[in-house]
Amino acid sequence: MRNRAQLTYNAVGAWLEGKGPAPPKVAADTEIAAQLKLQDEAAMALRAERHRLGALEFDRVEAEPVISDGQVTGIAERRKNRATALIEDFMIAANEVMARTLAEAGVSSIRRVVKSPERWDRIVELAARYGEKLPPDPDSGALNAVLARRKAADPAHYPDVSLTILKLMGAGEYVLARAGDVGGEGHFGLAAHDYTHSTAPNRRFADLVTQRLIKAVLDKQPAPYTDEQLESIARDCTLRENAARKVERAMNKRIAAVALARRIGSTFQAVVTGVTPKGVFVRVLNPPAEGRLMRGYENVDVGDRFPVTLVGADPARGFIDFAR
């Protein structure tokens, strides 16, 4: 691979969306510009086909610290654009092809699975609040149609809806797919039956394992892992991913607590993101931050929305406390 230009998501995204000029390196090279346009067209075709099959489209808001002179001064929103979507669509397609290639070669592999939502009844209940009717059993196509209508009807609050559905769907996990097996769970959110993780071997061990399996197939060599080893790796990768997510969440809370420490007493619109034995958790979207609901948490559930007041922020422990 020859890297001819270092580009950024924001610059390319704005150009593809017609909201900004072409980045200098794109403007200076017609081949790169044509290639990006072609990739964008291909990505949109892939996305349209996934949605036709029932893949869910979420509008996630990610927090990004605002830093000045080495100090956190605030939290900004980082949203998807056409450039981030392009890369995401290509990665999803690559992961599906990898999974199918290994299956067709009769090789065991590690699959990425997101099971049908256990709390589908709550998703049905939330849809009914908007006058929508979902079937009694999980159906990604029906859910995606509801999400599309909600995005069109109220784009400003669609991130709230996206966040709620994501929380109710639950986390993904890695599982062993034995050679010759048919059936089994797929990826509910992507409406994909054959799906693995293969595009980030520099930061995920499951991806590295998948690429080693692919190399063995291409070289017509025996698989480098036994089924027992793959099953153990899949289980361990799930555990480590969950642990990493907890660390990431804790650090994000510390950053948010620093940014919010000056805003004790302020009121925000919040959505309930978790109801656990440890407490009820809410997320405010402006700025994007999550904390625990210390008062007024009786009889609430994931997806409920109401105003909250910030009553405490402890950066050292990453605690952000709200009261209804």
Q: Tens of pLDDT along 134-162? A: 999 999 889 989 988 988 888 867 877 88
Model confidence at 48, in pLDDT bands (50, 70, 90)?
A: very high
Structure token pair of residue 204: 């995920």
In this predicted structure, what is the pLDDT of residue 311?
Answer: 96
- The model's pLDDT over 229-275, given as tens digits with 9 standing for 90+, comes to 999 999 999 999 999 999 988 888 898 999 898 899 999 999 888 88
- Percent of the chain having pLDDT more than 70? 99
- The model's pLDDT over 104-121, given as tens digits with 9 standing for 90+, comes to 999 999 999 988 887 899
Check if the beta carbon of residue 254 is closer than 8 Å to that of residue 315: yes
Check if the beta carbon of residue 133 is closer than 8 Å to that of residue 239: no
Residues 314-322 have a mean pLDDT of 93
- Burial classification of residue 72, based on how many CB atoms lie within 10 Å of its CB (0-12 exposed, 13-18 middle, 19 or more buried): middle
Cα torsion 46, 50, 53, 57: sign: negative
Check if the beta carbon of residue 53 is closer than 8 Å to that of residue 161: no
In this predicted structure, what is the pLDDT of residue 117?
Answer: 85
Provide the H-helix boundaries in 224-313.
227-260
Residues 36-64 have a mean pLDDT of 88
List CB contacts of 246: < 8 A, sequence separation 6 or more: none
In this predicted structure, what is the pLDDT of residue 173?
Answer: 94
Neighbours of 61 (CB within 10 A): 20
Q: Where are the domains of the chain?
A: 9-114+171-247, 264-324
CA dist., res. 168 & res. 68, Å (int):
36
Q: What is the CATH T-level fold of the domain 264-324, as seen in this structure?
A: OB fold (Dihydrolipoamide Acetyltransferase, E2P) (2.40.50)
Identify which has the larger pLDDT, 99 or 60.
Answer: 99
Residues 120-127 have a mean pLDDT of 90
> With 90 as the cut, is the pLDDT of residue 45 above it?
yes
Provide the H-helix boundaries in the chain.
9-16, 24-27, 30-52, 82-104, 120-129, 140-153, 158-169, 205-218, 227-260
In this predicted structure, what is the pLDDT of residue 42?
Answer: 98
Residues 67-76 have a mean pLDDT of 82
- The model's pLDDT over 180-213, given as tens digits with 9 standing for 90+, comes to 887 667 888 888 888 999 999 999 999 999 999 9
In this predicted structure, what is the pLDDT of residue 183?
Answer: 65
Q: Which residues pair with 87 in a beta bridge?
A: none
List CB contacts of 315: < 8 A, sequence separation 6 or more: 254, 257, 258, 261
Residues 264-289 have a mean pLDDT of 88
> With 90 as the cut, is the pLDDT of residue 33 above it?
yes
